[in-house]
Chain A
């Protein structure tokens, strides 16, 4: 009986230690503070919905220039060191690794900021 109680106490005491010893909370670095299209709380909960609805309208209906845009997310949130939203401290990957939500966006989309399409490059007068 006494041994059981000691065991139980040990579990209760150690439980919070074990839990916090898992994944550390993501430390997000905001490269351009205060310029997001919506408040932080809304972005955290709804960013995937915003992007999903915009992507369908853009691809299927050809509606361009909507408020939510994956390329704009990247251009603003890409690390100023690596130029990407991926990598160890990357804005997207940091949180998604913690939440264990797989990111499929980057199988097709370009995760680095500052890249220009040929058309844009021509218009801006720079070599692509």
Chain B
């Protein structure tokens, strides 16, 4: 599978850059100051620049703060992403994020943590996808392109984190910005529709304990990058060398 960067249609990118340059030049004549130009461009409904490989979105989850029995993140995820269908067999329900309680039988130490798509740098789901539907954006978010997903579920087998689900039934109550439907595999998207608008993922925003931190791992000034640099964090199944976007503390 190609990296998303390779998939960029060079011609369309040139067209886009060209259009943006023309739009910028056109507005430049109207601009009073360099700062105003940007505002005008955004108001003129110019497309956003898109995902950049300079950014690596990541999440840091502090399991010492995560309360057992609390599922605020799971509920917020379901509301934001329109996961509201009732399934005949509960094993078929979509789980973009789920709560896990762990206990070390030897010491009795207990942990509670949310498990979701880990947004690997080297995602096994992308490796195995026979159609190229499973893909990684330039900014590290791993997605399913439902337009070409055939629902074979190979990615579900390949994922070490059990992060993906298949939709088994027809859906009608989707959120407009989160299309999802029968016969396609799906997983946590880091709430890509929100992240692209500069918002936080729904789960991070909803956590009453503030146990979830979202940010750009590549930006040395971001809180997440500073904490990952200074504090001990764990990647689940770090032995697989997948370089995960989601890191845990306290496990």
Q: Do A and B come from one complex?
A: yes
- Seen from chain A, the residues whose Cβ lies within 8 Å of a Cβ on chain B are 53, 55-57, 59-67, 71, 74, 107-110, 115-120, 128
In the complex, chain B residues whose CB is within 8 Å of the CB of A116: 176
Question: Interface size class for chain B?
Answer: 35 or more
Closest to A115 in B: B176
A57 touching B196, Cβ below 8 Å:
no
A62, B191: Cα distance in complex, Å: 12
Closest to A53 in B: B12
In the complex, chain B residues whose CB is within 8 Å of the CB of A115: 175-176
Within 27-54 of B, Cβ neighbours of A (below 8 Å) are at: 45-51
In the complex, chain A residues whose CB is within 8 Å of the CB of B16: 63
B12 touching A57, Cβ below 8 Å:
yes
B174 touching A62, Cβ below 8 Å:
no
Within 95-137 of B, Cβ neighbours of A (below 8 Å) are at: 135, 137
In the complex, chain A residues whose CB is within 8 Å of the CB of B174: 108-110
Say if the beta carbon of B147 comes within 8 Å of chain A: yes
Closest Cβ–Cβ distance, residue B7 to chain A (whole Å): 6
Given A59-B145, A61-B137, A63-B47, A118:B80 Cβ within 8 A: yes
B181 touching A118, Cβ below 8 Å:
no
Say if the beta carbon of B70 comes within 8 Å of chain A: no
Shortest 10 CB-CB distances between A and B: which pairs? A62-B51, A108-B181, A63-B50, A108-B179, A107-B181, A61-B50, A62-B50, A66-B47, A64-B48, A109-B179
Say if the beta carbon of B182 comes within 8 Å of chain A: yes
CB-defined interface of B178-206 with A at 8 Å, one 1/0 digit per residue?
A: 11111110000001111011010010000
Say if the beta carbon of B18 comes within 8 Å of chain A: no
A62 touching B197, Cβ below 8 Å:
no
Within 42-97 of B, Cβ neighbours of A (below 8 Å) are at: 45-51, 79-80
A60 touching B137, Cβ below 8 Å:
yes
Closest Cβ–Cβ distance, residue A9 to chain B (whole Å): 51
New A-B contacts (10) at CB < 8 Å, excluding given A107-B181, A107-B183: A57-B47, A60-B4, A60-B137, A61-B51, A62-B138, A63-B50, A64-B48, A109-B174, A110-B176, A119-B80
